[in-house]
Amino acid sequence: MANQFVLVWSLLLTALTVCCLTSASDPSPLQDFCVADSNSQGIYRIKMNGFACKNPTTVRANDFSFSGLHIPGNTANAVGSAVTSATVTQIPGLNTLGISMVRVDYAPWGINPPHTHPRGTEILTVIKGTLEVGFVTSNPDNRLISKILRKGDVFVFPIGLIHFQRNVGHGNAVAIAALSSQNPGVITVANSVFGSKPDISADILAKAFQLDESIVRKLQWTF
């Protein structure tokens, strides 16, 4: 009977642990803050999940501040968009807090091309203009869920799913997005597939995308 009691409690604790571990992208902090110390690695570069903490007595307000999201990004590029990030790289105080944000600027008909954030869910708010947004569900459905957003509208992109935005208005557009990770990461589909270093074998991509190998090589050269 005692063994059964221990087994039940073990299973319950395991379930609760899994639930807690999977409830957020980043681990919950165990202290008020852990300002990232970019100089902590010294001679021996230890790979950490996040950054080591700066001495709390040396923490200042600037560690929790960033000035730059009021500045429009340069959209004079092939896709017609620019992303200005406010992640742990720009704000050391975000370390261990599991949140970050970005500003996205779009030229007329500019796009934020299909991409995914492997470590964070994104919630986007349109500040200016009109955006077509959407994400694609995972295999086997691959369902496109999309919507036209206007100023003040909000849309959520679930963690890990491929998503995009396109400016469908007549002028420039601006959006602000928050993400559920201090460092959500970004994988742009076209750049990753056709711009990997070294190249993925052209015959593999040709078969995957049902393209001629010459077209694949051209795309690889482009990216």
Spatial contact of 189 and 114, defined as CB atoms under 8 Å apart? yes
Name beta bridge partners: 101.
Answer: 86, 178
Q: Could you tell me which residue, 7 or 72, shows the higher pLDDT?
A: 72
pLDDT of residue 115: 97
Cβ density class 136-150: b for 16+ within 10 Å, e for less: beeeeeeeeeeeebe
Q: Is the pLDDT of residue 191 over 50?
A: yes
Q: Is the pLDDT of residue 93 over 70?
A: yes
Q: Could you tell me which residue, 47 or 220, shows the higher pLDDT?
A: 220
Per-residue 3-state assignment (H helix, E strand, C coil) for 166-177:
EECCCCCEEEEE
Average pLDDT over residues 192-219: 95
Average pLDDT over residues 105-112: 98
Spatial contact of 194 and 223, defined as CB atoms under 8 Å apart? yes
Q: Is the pLDDT of residue 102 over 90?
A: yes
Q: Which parts are annotated binding residues for Mn(2+)?
A: 115, 117, 122, 163
Q: What percent of the chain stands above pLDDT 70?
A: 82
Spatial contact of 166 and 131, defined as CB atoms under 8 Å apart? yes
Q: Which parts are annotated binding residues for oxalate?
A: 112, 117, 122
Question: Which run of H or of E encompasses 116?
Answer: strand 111-116
The pTM is what?
A: 0.82
Q: How confident is the model at residue 215 (pLDDT cuts 50, 70, 90)?
A: very high
Cα(181)–Cα(25) distance, rounded to whole angstroms?
6
pLDDT of residue 128: 98
Spatial contact of 115 and 189, defined as CB atoms under 8 Å apart? yes
Question: What is the pLDDT of the chain when averaged over all its residues?
Answer: 87
Q: What percent of the chain stands above pLDDT 90?
A: 74
Least confident of 4-13, 80-89, 117-126: 4-13
Question: Which of 11-20, 24-33, 90-99 has maximum average pLDDT?
Answer: 90-99
Spatial contact of 26 and 119, defined as CB atoms under 8 Å apart? yes
Q: Which parts are annotated binding residues?
A: 112, 115, 117, 122, 163
| Total Cβ atoms within 10 A of residue 88 | 23
Least confident of 29-33, 83-87, 111-115, 124-128: 29-33
Position 58: which residue type? T
Q: Could you tell me which residue, 21 or 214, shows the higher pLDDT?
A: 214
